[in-house]
Each structure stands twice: as C-alpha cells, then as structure tokens.
Amino acid sequence: MSHFDTADSLQGKRILVVGDDYSVASDICRHLRELGATVLGPAPTPFYAQSLLGRRGVDVAILDVLLYGTTVYSLADELARRTTPIIFATDQDQKDAPSRFQSSPWLRKPLDLGHLIALVHDAAHDRPAQPLSCPSVVPPAEVGPQGVQERLAKVITGLMRSGR
C-alpha cells in the first residue's frame, strides 16, 4: 500500500494509464486502484487508449512515449486539448519531446512508484475530470418551426438530386 492515508486517497479519480510494457503498466494500475482510483487501462496503444477515453473525462493521464514504435503525442495532444494533466512515464529523453510537452512531469524508467503516485495525487486533486461538452446547438426558440422545416427540405432536396 502507498504512503498516502485515506484522506489523501485517489477515491473517485479517473486515471488513464497508457504503456506497452504490461508488467509495469499493470503494476501502476494496481497501485492506483488500491488508492481508490478508477483506472482506464492499461492501454498498450494510442488507439486503444483513445477508445477507452471516448468522450469521458479523466483527472490524470500517465503516458509512455513510445508504444510499439508509435509515439503517443497525438493522444497527448487530445488530452491537452481537454486540459487533462499528463505525466510521462517513459525511458525516452525529455529533451526529444515536442516543446509543447516540455513542462509536463517526466519520469524516467525504472519508475519510482512513490514519486509517480505523488505526482498523480497532486495533479488529480488540482481539478475534477470534465466530460467533453456537446457542440452548441441553436436553441429552438431562436429557430422557429418554419426555419427547421426549410433547412430539412433543402437537405432532402439536395440528397434527392445527388441520387443518394
């Protein structure tokens, strides 16, 4: 068990773990679960991680940089867009990372699990996970029934003309 007491637990926090070394990633997941976190992962590829993530928010993401020869930076960009704190846990050099990730916490393997958990704890208690909001829709009061019918008719007419 970690050195954090129950008052400092990760209860209710959602953590994404992405890494292709199953033993390391599953060990991280196990420790996070012991602290009460809801863990998504371990995800061995960016695609799988994106599938786990979907539209749900997470409080923190722990990412290995190189996954089966593919970098995780596209996933990291998506997480950054969602304002999700990212912790890189990798054997890659931080100096080789894109400049946009230079200020993120960067732990080298072999990992100091206590240090990683402390970083996760700090990041997770900094802000709650937020699901992505749906795209804004024009309120019905601003678009009368005539406007909706008109747009629908144009779409249907266009589809009929194109033969779809």
Q: Are 32 and 55 in contact (CB under 8 A)?
A: no
Please give the structure tokens belonging to residue 124: 């997770």
Confidence band, pLDDT 50/70/90 cuts, at residue 56: confident
- Judge whether residue 103 has pLDDT over 80: yes
Q: Is residue 117 part of a domain?
A: yes
List the domain range (segments joined by +) for residue 15. Answer: 6-124
Please name the residues in contact with 141: beta carbons below 8 A apart, sequence gap of 6 or more.
none
Q: Is residue 135 part of a domain?
A: no
pLDDT at position 153 is 65
- Judge whether residue 128 has pLDDT over 90: no
Please name the residues in contact with 54: beta carbons below 8 A apart, sequence gap of 6 or more.
none
Q: Is residue 37 part of a domain?
A: yes
The pTM of the full predicted model, rounded to 2 decimals, is 0.74
pLDDT at position 9 is 85
Q: Is residue 152 part of a domain?
A: no
pLDDT at position 8 is 57
Q: Is residue 75 part of a domain?
A: yes
The CATH number linked to 49 is 3.40.50.2300
Average pLDDT estimate for 38-66: 94
Q: Are 60 and 120 in contact (CB under 8 A)?
A: yes
Pairwise CA distance, residues 18 & 67, whole Å: 9
Instruction: Report the mean per-residue pLDDT for the chain.
Output: 82
- Judge whether residue 26 has pLDDT over 90: yes
Q: What is the largest CA-CA distance in the chain?
A: 68
Determine how many CB atoms are found less than 10 A away from the CB of residue 140.
10
Please state, in angstroms and as integers, the Cα–Cα distance from residue 81 to each residue in 10, 42, 76, 78, 137, following that order. 23, 21, 8, 5, 21
Pairwise CA distance, residues 16 & 30, whole Å: 13
Q: Is residue 82 part of a domain?
A: yes
